Amino acid sequence: MSEIPPTYVPPENINGGPGFQPQPGGINLKTVLHIVYGLYAIGFITGGMGTLAAVILAYVKRGDAAGTIYASHFDWVLRTFWWSLLWGIISAILTLIFIGWIGLFATVVWVLYRLVKGWLMLAEGRPVGPSAL
């Protein structure tokens, strides 16, 4: 019962060295942005949990995108989130006088527009927002 388990020996990688080597440069920023846009969209189904995950991921990876076309997409997603949060809160308060429902509807439409526009621009490999002009 006092057997000593064998020592773990990592497998050989494709370069012939021991163990697993990380992919050079890490995960592709375009892939990260597709995940961010997808999570943001899933947020409509999950009550905002996907959106929250998208915002956290965008903040984590934003620095890696500095100086690339992808930086505009990270800014686009984050500005969309913060502005929609502001207008959502204002509209929620205004629902007390029944005009807020219009604001909530307009905010949802605006977020969907920005999500679709950003995702399409990403698919085309173009920047989005004011920096795209």
Q: What is the mean pLDDT of the chain?
A: 85
Helices assigned H by DSSP within 47-99: 49-61, 70-94
Is the model's pLDDT at 20 over the cut of 50? no
What is the mean predicted confidence (pLDDT) over 22-44? Answer: 85
What is the mean predicted confidence (pLDDT) over 92-106? Answer: 91
Amino acid identity at 24: P
Q: List the domain range (segments joined by +) for residue 33.
A: 29-124
pLDDT at position 15 is 46
Structural domains in the chain (count): 1
User: CA nearest 101: which of 88, 120, 113?
Assistant: 88
- Answer whether residue 45 is part of any domain: yes
Q: How confident is the model at residue 86 (pLDDT cuts 50, 70, 90)?
A: very high
- Answer whether residue 17 is part of any domain: no
- Answer whether residue 11 is part of any domain: no
The pTM for the full model equals 0.76
- What does the block give as tokens for 61? 């990876």
